[in-house]
Amino acid sequence: MGKPTGFMDYHRETSKAESPKTRISHFNEFHTHLPKEKQQLQGARCMECGVPFCQAGMNISGMASGCPLHNLIPEWNDLVYTGNWEQAYNRLKKTNNFPEFTSRVCPALCEAACTCGLNGDAVSTKENEYAIIENAYAEGLAAPNPPKVRTGKKVAVVGSGPSGLACADQLNKRGHLVTVFERSDRIGGLLMYGIPNMKLEKHIIDRKIKVMAEEGVTFVTSTDVGKDVKAARLLADYDKVVLCCGASNPRDIKAPGRDAKGIYFAVDFLTQTTKSLLDSDLKDGNFVSAKGKDVIIIGGGDTGNDCVGTSIRHGAKSVTQIEMMPKAPDKRAENNPWPEWPKVCKTDYGQEEAIAGFGHDPRIYESTVKEFIKDKKGDLKAVKIVKLAWEKNPETGRMDMKEVPGSEQILDAQLVLIAAGFLGSEKYVTDAFKVETNERTNVKTAPGEYKTSVEHVFTAGDMHRGQSLVVWAIREGREVARAVDLSLMGYSNLYIQ
């Protein structure tokens, strides 16, 4: 697709970001995207691969390579190049319910697997996707399109994150009557409160929810299923129930002094900031503030980076990010060849802002917290960390992490944010529906299926597969919708891939 010589004729060009010192003054998205004419030339760089790994979505060496949604990437890259924006949108929406989300927050597994990236720069697929969906809204192509026929079947979806929304969107298109229950005050789940505004402005979510509502999806907020509404009530009122409640149990750090005041889970910190931002532009003070504080963030992943960026916007005195793993190489290692996901060091927006503001990378690698140190009032005043080293266990043959004797270090800290990942589904929900869970507390199903141990109850997303990416949640939402449709109608015409 695209232009056969496009990858040689045109260099990769992407959106321009505001300088770190400028963008930390606000919580808005901070990229200026290419004009349509230049974006079309980026579509020309797609090189008509014989085997388009970008859309494969396969596991290679235990890691995803290419798009899990199997987006028809070469097709719509070509359509971008030729200026056929409407058809590009039609091909994109065939596999992806929410390109307005993925084009902003997805790590672009497609680009990591792009053949151009083997010996040069990958095609800017993620930004081509952004251009397609934003043009679709501007031209009225993404307007509501309610189903012409209703089946009369009723489905309850519990949870309004990306998997729940994808499930609801698919089932509604099929003609079923879908109600989405959300325990928070706004629809979006992880998208709304787990991802900071500077990565995904919330009016983008509201825009899509408005379309879905006009297409017939019913949204119920501030309703905690399992507490406010009994599971038996849903099972009595609806033909099927789909649990898409996420992996909501944050992993804790069990170290002496954990009861000190000033230690919070990252998800609570980010949620409070976003809610206060939306409610009052942070004027109500209903959030944990990092202003003037030495902040320690435990965890080196995307959530940890979001905490770095948010803390800096609060006005933190200093920000340090503790990472247990060693620093990844700056370039692909020989044992990590294309098209595997590149295990390289990524300096994300929050870390860029820390470097610009404090003069150094905030990350300390191969370290962990050994003790939280309190003052006489019980407030956090410092954190003791220790270096880690990998050693081979002679009994198991596995590599274990061991503390390095004498490597302890005391860091000032009045605020600690734990961003160490999530452990699985919340017990009160699984208990309410009496569904079986596995050893990781994810809701159990047969391999490759979405039906739980309880009749008429299905599950999808992080609650089913464990903590993962938005794009995987959308994929599972689409697949569970097809499974539900099959169980309701005996056949399904819902397209997955």
For the chain, the structural domain boundaries read 6-138, 154-248+423-489, 263-418
pTM of the model: 0.96
Ranges of H-type helices in 193-295 = 202-214, 231-237, 266-280
Evaluate whether the domain defined by 154-248+423-489 bears CATH number 3.30.420.40.
no
Q: Is 157 helix (H, G, I), strand (E, B) or coil?
A: strand
- Answer positive or negative: Cα dihedral of 225, 438, 487, 64: positive
The single residue listed with the structure tokens 């300390």 is 364
Decide: residue 253, CB within 10 A, 0-12 exposed, 13-18 middle, 19+ buried.
middle
Query: Within 10 Å of residue 163's Cβ, how many Cβ atoms?
Result: 36
C-alpha separations of 198 from 161, 247, 386 in Å: 18, 23, 33
Ranges of H-type helices in 96-184 = 99-105, 109-112, 125-138, 162-174
Residue 9 CB contacts under 8 Å (≥ 6 apart), including other chains: 3, 44
Task: Supply the pLDDT for residue 48.
Answer: 77
Task: Supply the pLDDT for residue 1.
Answer: 58
User: Rounded to 5 degrees, what are φ and ψ at 268?
Assistant: -70, -40
Third-level CATH fold of 6-138: Fumarate Reductase Iron-sulfur Protein; Chain B, domain 2 (1.10.1060)
Q: Can you tell me the distance from the alpha carbon of 382 to that of 405, in angstroms, rounded to the nearest whole number?
A: 20
Q: Can you tell me the distance from the alpha carbon of 180 to that of 221, in angstroms, rounded to the nearest whole number?
A: 8
Residue 141 CB contacts under 8 Å (≥ 6 apart), including other chains: 86, 89, 135
Taking 50 as the pLDDT cut, the residues of the chain under it are: none
Asked if the domains 6-138 and 154-248+423-489 are classified in one and the same CATH topology, the answer is no
User: Rounded to 5 degrees, what are φ and ψ at 32?
Assistant: -105, 115
Cβ distance 126 to 46 under 8 Å?
A: no
Residue 114 CB contacts under 8 Å (≥ 6 apart), including other chains: 53, 54, 122, 123, 125
The single residue listed with the structure tokens 């919330």 is 202
C-alpha separations of 294 from 286, 312, 392 in Å: 20, 11, 36
CATH architecture of 263-418: 3-Layer(bba) Sandwich (3.50)
